[in-house]
Amino acid sequence: MRIEIYTKSELLPELIESPALHSALMFRSYEKTKGCTPHMLVAYDENNKEIGHILVIKRKRFIPFPPMMSRWYNINGEGVYRADCNNREEIFAAFLEKVLGMFSFRHSFIKIHNIEDSRFAYDILRKHDFVPVRDRRIYISLHSKAPQERLTRAYRAHIRKAENNGVTYRRATAPQEIEDGIQLLRNYYISKTRRLPSRETLNMMLHNSDGTLSEQAKMFVVIYKGKAIGSSFCMYDNDRAYLSYYCGLRKSYPTQYPGIMAIWAALTDAHKEGFAHFEFLEVRSRSRINPKFISALLNYGGKQKGTLRWFRFKWHWLNKILRAIYV
């Protein structure tokens, strides 16, 4: 087995069909995002056929206080593998060795998250000095009940009141609708610790190379009196929808519940399109900061599930301290 690293989209080979999080589209999107450098690691067998691949993002951000440039590697999930592959952990370990080979003293840490099975490569990650931090996921099963049946009584009343007030929602398909939805998200996330991709990146994710609308990502807008007052951005896996970003002008339009309706638009569309699960990606960055945010999402009928985020810092003494705290 050999592993090749690609850093330019024009050099990418034809990859195994993969979910949005590890796709060539996502690679090209990060390639256009300021402060991000994508690396696609591809594993080949002795016949030069792909076994699997994983997308690794090198990020950097300037921190004003104290003034410094923070750099780190981000790995979103365990990667994508061929259907007949029975040694995924072994290949993942080889990917990890490559990432550690790229890691230098200039980088602060490596972060691995969104691994579906928390037992996957557990011993391998511990062996390489990674620290597991307990986290949670919130998802909604769409295959057993309709979303309307899972809503709490309060949220059912909020949605009914918003619709009675004239609020509508739909997928943004027109260029102006997409622009309005992106602008709402940009205005909201500019003051948040979680960063929103650039306008160009979001547009690239929403469209195919030929300019048609993509089915791997969708933008939804909440409309009131002809004006967009809320929006949400959703990505799609084989059987799972991921709500990545959402916002609403809740202070300007409190009785229209734009934030609730923005999530509801993405949730009902995922159910209509036949996806089995709907997951809130934003939980990973806000669950420990704002417990009320978690309570709000559970009103949609979501379930909580424990998961792990893995960190490896360049300072070995810090890894040792964190292991004593979290392990």
pLDDT at 193: 64
13, 154: one domain: no
pLDDT at 219: 96
109, 153: one domain: no
Report whether pLDDT(287) > 50: no
| H helix or E strand, kind and range, residue 197 | none
Is 227 a member of any domain? yes
- Asked if residues 135 and 101 have their Cβ atoms less than 8 Å apart, the reply is no
150, 297: one domain: yes
Report whether pLDDT(10) > 80: yes
For range 72-90, the mean pLDDT: 89
116, 156: one domain: no
Q: How many whole angstroms separate alpha carbon 38 and alpha carbon 138? A: 27
pLDDT at 65: 66
Report whether pLDDT(63) > 80: no
150, 263: one domain: yes
Percent of the chain residues past pLDDT 90, beyond the cut: 50
* Beta strand 2-6 pairing with 50-63: unpaired
166, 99: one domain: no
Q: How many whole angstroms separate alpha carbon 1 and alpha carbon 20? A: 25
Which of 128, 162, 195 is the last residue before a domain boundary? Answer: 128
Mean pLDDT of all residues belonging to the chain: 88
Whole-model pTM?
0.82
The full DSSP string for 76-117 is ESS-EE-TT---HHHHHHHHHHHHHHH--TT--EEEEE--SS
N-terminal to C-terminal alpha carbon distance within the chain = 33
Number of domains in the chain: 2
| Token output for 242 | 């991921």
Report whether pLDDT(92) > 80: yes
Tens of pLDDT, residue by residue over 156-200, are 999 999 999 999 999 999 999 999 999 999 999 887 767 788 888
Structural domain that includes position 289: 138-306
pLDDT at 232: 96
Burial class (CB in 10 A: 0-12, 13-18, 19+), 174: exposed
